Homo-oligomer: A and B are copies of this chain.
Amino acid sequence: MVTLKHLAEQLNVSISTVSKALHDSNEISPDTIERVKALAKFLNYKPNQLAVSLKNSKTNTIGVIIPNILNHFFAKALFAIEQEATKQGYNIITCVSNEKHSKEINSLQLLSNGSVDGFIMSIAEETQVANKVDHINAILNQNIPIVLFDRVSDDIDCGKVIIDDFGAAYEATKYLLSEGRKNIILLSRIDELSVGKLRAKGYFKALDDDTTYNEEPNCITISHDESIEERIEALLTKNKKIDGIVAVDNTTGVIALHKALKLNINVPKDLSIIGFSDENVLQFTDPKLSTVSQHTLDIGKASVEMLINKLKDKSSVQNTTKTIKAKLILRGTTK
């Protein structure tokens, strides 16, 4: 590895002269600057980032901790985070918590020792269910900024980027009501997550606000050890009155669609479905699933922006919560 020392020796100048020359310092003569730069280029000199970081107490690296990279939402968020971070001259170190509280603690510990300037994270399911957030607050107390996205907690005082989960589910439900649906169920595999709870609330509120709607709200929650497919197939087989589905997680909407098609239910004539899957590979179905688009790219981008803002001016930047507007995208499974 080529170092400043090498260059200095070759050129018979001091290390600091080389350093200054490479930074275009006006303390150095144009002539020297040129010579230094020429040699640096020739030898393909690149400053050792470790040394720079150590010296400056700044790594230009963001730690990203996501619960599950096989979940398309998080993969997409990571994509956006990586893209925006790169654009702003930051690297990312990625850790996957795998929804485990302990892994989240480890990652946070591991990276908070000078490896990163701050964190962008979405909290693990275990963490959220138990609402054990001491480990996160400990990092904040060390004055390392964190931005939470999507899955957040009221017990953590930091920057947050979320979507309007309540409003999005409210709008989705209202849309089905406006189609004249009389038997709208909610499907959720994320009952225990903050976003799941909020979306359920939106659904309840929408039904509640509609004075002409007579049915009881029907909230189908599916646990992790259940077969989603069997459960949904049974549901649609038994309860023929269902004419609207609001699926508030990643996959149940698509599965419901597949099962409806299999059971020869006419979608969207006799059954409307709205999912939360975002536009992705899942949508090679025919008809295509209508969804609430979560603007995942915007979420990632906004998270990076918020964190970098904080990094640039730690003291004065207030902790804010940014809400990214979700949007109903009507495709083939709604009228």
Let me know if B46 and A113 touch, CB within 8 A: yes
Binding site for B on A (CB under 8 A): 1, 46-51, 53-54, 59, 61, 69-70, 72, 75-76, 78-79, 82-83, 86, 91-96, 98, 109-115, 142, 229, 251, 254-255, 258-259, 261-262, 280-282, 284-286
* Contact partners of A261 in chain B: CB under 8 A: 261, 286
* Contact partners of A78 in chain B: CB under 8 A: 69, 94
Closest to A89 in B: B110
Let me know if B70 and A75 touch, CB within 8 A: yes
Question: Which 7 pairs from chain A and chain B are nearest by CB?
Answer: A46-B113, A48-B114, A94-B94, A50-B114, A50-B54, A262-B286, A49-B115
Q: List 5 A-B contacts (CB under 8 A).
A: A48-B114, A49-B113, A51-B114, A261-B261, A261-B286
Select A286's contact among B142, B259, B286, beta carbons within 8 Å.
B259
Closest to A48 in B: B114
Let me know if B110 and A91 touch, CB within 8 A: yes
Select A86's contact among B69, B92, B95, beta carbons within 8 Å.
B95
Let me know if B69 and A251 touch, CB within 8 A: no
* Contact partners of A115 in chain B: CB under 8 A: 49-50, 91
Given the complex of chains A and B, what is the CA–CA distance between A78 and B98 in angstroms? 13
Shortest beta-carbon distance, A105 to chain B, in Å? 13
Select A258's contact among B49, B92, B110, B285, beta carbons within 8 Å.
B285
* Contact partners of A95 in chain B: CB under 8 A: 82, 86, 91
* Contact partners of A251 in chain B: CB under 8 A: 281, 284
* Contact partners of A76 in chain B: CB under 8 A: 70
Let me know if A92 and B93 touch, CB within 8 A: yes
Let me know if A92 and B91 touch, CB within 8 A: no
Select A281's contact among B47, B49, B281, beta carbons within 8 Å.
B281
* Contact partners of A93 in chain B: CB under 8 A: 61, 91-94
* Contact partners of A98 in chain B: CB under 8 A: 83
* Contact partners of A286 in chain B: CB under 8 A: 258-259, 261-262
Given the complex of chains A and B, what is the CA–CA distance between A79 and B115 in angstroms? 21
Given the complex of chains A and B, what is the CA–CA distance between A38 and B48 in angstroms? 35
Closest to A46 in B: B113
Given that A49-B114, A91-B111 are contacting pairs, would A1 and B69 also be in contact in the complex, using a CB cutoff of 8 Å? no
* Contact partners of A1 in chain B: CB under 8 A: 113-114, 142
Given the complex of chains A and B, what is the CA–CA distance between A93 and B115 in angstroms? 11
* Contact partners of A96 in chain B: CB under 8 A: 79, 82-83
Let me know if A50 and B53 touch, CB within 8 A: yes
Shortest beta-carbon distance, A30 to chain B, in Å? 27
Shortest beta-carbon distance, A3 to chain B, in Å? 10
Given the complex of chains A and B, what is the CA–CA distance between A39 and B285 in angstroms? 61
Select A94's contact among B82, B109, B281, beta carbons within 8 Å.
B82
Shortest beta-carbon distance, A251 to chain B, in Å? 6
